[in-house]
Chains A and B, each alone.
Chain A
């Protein structure tokens, strides 16, 4: 059976709301509007005002309220309409949620999920297109998850909601409508994907491609094209940004000897930069036959015009080009 990422998220939330009374959802337009991107469709009708709460447009305030509720024993899902708006509330995410368990030396936990679409969309311009994976991935005390497929969305959101720690859950608007095959096992109510474990989406011997979220699709597309030329890519879907599954990446590099990371966000101090640093410092470095390389968004604010926007984010041809340069073919 095929399920879209949107429906997978919806079903995961529905099942977790049913399973645990303490779980509730708050955010802008999540209730009566069914969600700005319809991810929470039907939930208000089913669970009502107490569990599905429409907030005013006041991120700092409602994120703080969500964190407080988590401190006092509830398990909130705090939706940011997009993660761009989380910047208005980032103090609450970092200082109130992420650091509290540490500061209290284990007395006060914060079982909260911050979720919403992250990164570039289509034509939404500079203030609505930023990727926050690197920003949140930087902070100890946070778990940061970035699902790609419907199965990822389902299993990781359930894990995030059941996790007793603050989890930043980075969705992608362009992936919401994409359908994926979903096995019976994945559809079961207790199907969980562990946070902190990457998945190999495609096996290959010649080069390792590491990516997260929508860019995994591009990596698989590039791999299909390259396969026709006899180049077999191993595509790793990170699934989690923090904690980083460096071991999965290292194991792959020890097999393929080549690495290209692919992300939608900006290059400087980004996900690829971090992965490359890990590899430099770890056991896989000596297995590299060529410098590891990053494919990233262009280092500019996101332009609006289609031709400019298309050239601001990695395209399949950029991945193919980087693979061939790395393999020296």
Chain B
């Protein structure tokens, strides 16, 4: 019934892989084992359900502030992680819940961070945009600022000589930032092991790519940095491209740039309905024709790699995991007030912090 051995799966996507200053690109075919397929499916489904639960909790005002959801883009996060190791490094912008998951965070601690509880991955102090794990540098609120940071991580990788690299993500909106071009220059000059990845979801908040960029060929914008453009809705395309890029970096050739063409179903954030600058038809079209989870599911079913029942079973398990996490996230207590002033400095003796008035002196420990 199910092929237990690895299966050669056709990788060709709707658009072929576009190359810039590269003689050859990633392979057009890839091996997908049953275990891999099921794992990718589970992880993407977990991400999807987690984001939708966050949507719900936000509308109930249990999550506050900014909340930028990733549903639709799952193949990028999962595909990228599948192409690198946990010992590699990764940094992204604020649409970061999914990466927190792939980089070792649990759904429980991600959700509890969103609800601002002490069990949150940043103890409730960071919120949606500021989640960190080992070798994952967030979660960054200022558009584009994470890119020089990522190159800096790559510099450390090269410096420390452990054959690690840094995946440095940014969106189509950020792609026009000057600091990104400054980073391209230095990363290239110094041959830093940095994979720049532009997640092009076609809109920077409410502004379409055509209105923001004189050139929307984001994979070429690195100019002297070789680039490739890949279907970001196809997880195998993303994985193979990432593997290809990682190989490029690890062989000492310097940075490389990947553009992933992807799509977000939600608006920019929860305060953006997402339909004033694009049509519902467009969103629906992507959902029905290019949904990353559906595409993987169809591929596995049509290749007899899984049954409908077992995928349903995964769905049920995922739903339960999300429910449990949401339960935790809504019942865990808020952080204690005496944590207010902690974590100002690292490795520092305890100090006093001024409260709202001169008579209130608060305690701060590292």
Contacts and interface: CB of A to CB of B under 8 A. Distances in A.
Given A29-B205, A124-B65, A298 B176 contact: no
Interface stretch (B206-214, B244-252, B288-296, B305-313): B206-214
A307 B277 CA distance: 36
A57 B204 contact: yes
Nearest to B178: A60
A303 B340 contact: yes
B97 interface: no
Interface string B124-135: 111111100000
Interface stretch (A156-164, A197-205, A308-316): A308-316
Interface in B196-237: 204-207, 211-213
B341 interface: yes
A308 B178 contact: no
B356 A122 contact: no
B358 A293 contact: yes
Interface stretch (A133-141, A182-190, A224-232, A317-325): A317-325
B170 to A, nearest CB: 10
Interface in A110-142: 121-128
B357 A293 contact: yes
Interface string A12-41: 000000000000000011001100100000
B203 to A, nearest CB: 11
Nearest to A260: B357
Contact of A296 (B212, B344, B354): B354
B212 A56 contact: yes
A257 interface: no
A58 B144 CA distance: 9
Contacts of A57: 143-144, 173-174, 176-177, 204-205, 212
Contacts, number: 153
B319 interface: no
Contacts of A300: 340-341, 344, 353, 364
A121 B65 CA distance: 8
A196 interface: no
B235 to A, nearest CB: 28
Contacts of A318: 356-357, 360
A60 B176 CA distance: 11
Contacts of A121: 65
Interface residues of A, number: 48
Contacts of B174: 57
B83 interface: no
Nearest to B142: A127
Nearest to A84: B142
B241 to A, nearest CB: 25
Given A57-B173, A300-B341, A305-B117, A295 B356 contact: yes
A298 B339 contact: no
A294 B358 CA distance: 7
Contact of A54 (B142, B176, B207, B359): B207
A325 B358 CA distance: 10
A287 interface: no
B354 A304 contact: no
Interface residues of B, number: 51
B164 to A, nearest CB: 27
A125 B124 contact: no
A33 B204 CA distance: 12
Name the residue among A301, A307, A314, A315 with the largest chain B CB count within 10 angstroms.
A307
B213 A32 contact: no
Interface string B174-202: 10111000000000000000000000000
A313 B356 contact: yes
B1 interface: no
B276 interface: yes
Interface string B328-366: 000000110101110010000000011111111010100
Given A58-B177, A60-B178, A297-B356, A308 B335 contact: yes
Contact of B130 (A33, A60, A126, A294): A126
B141 interface: yes
B206 A29 contact: yes
Contacts of B173: 56-57
A136 B231 CA distance: 45
A297 B353 CA distance: 11
B42 interface: no
B176 A304 contact: no
A45 interface: no
B357 A295 contact: yes
A85 B207 CA distance: 18
Contacts of A315: 356
A58 B178 contact: yes
A125 B130 contact: yes
Given A56-B207, A307-B334, A322 B130 contact: no
B126 A304 contact: yes
B141 A127 contact: yes
A163 B194 CA distance: 48
A92 to B, nearest CB: 12
Contact of B176 (A56, A126, A312): A56
Contact of A308 (B64, B125, B353, B358): B125
A303 B353 CA distance: 15
Interface in A77-122: 84-85, 87-88, 121-122
B277 A33 contact: yes
B116 interface: yes
Contacts of A56: 173, 176, 204, 207, 212-213
B353 A299 contact: yes
Nearest to B211: A54
Given A57-B174, A312-B340, A304 B276 contact: no
16 contacts: A56-B173, A56-B213, A85-B143, A123-B65, A123-B66, A125-B65, A125-B127, A126-B126, A296-B356, A299-B353, A304-B125, A305-B117, A305-B125, A305-B334, A306-B116, A322-B359
Closest 6 CB pairs of A and B: A123-B65, A304-B127, A123-B64, A305-B116, A305-B124, A127-B141
Given A123-B65, A127-B129, 7 more contacts: A29-B205, A29-B206, A57-B174, A125-B141, A128-B141, A296-B357, A297-B356
Interface of B: 64-66, 113, 116-117, 120, 122, 124-130, 140-144, 173-174, 176-178, 204-207, 211-213, 276-277, 334-335, 337, 339-341, 344, 353-360, 362, 364
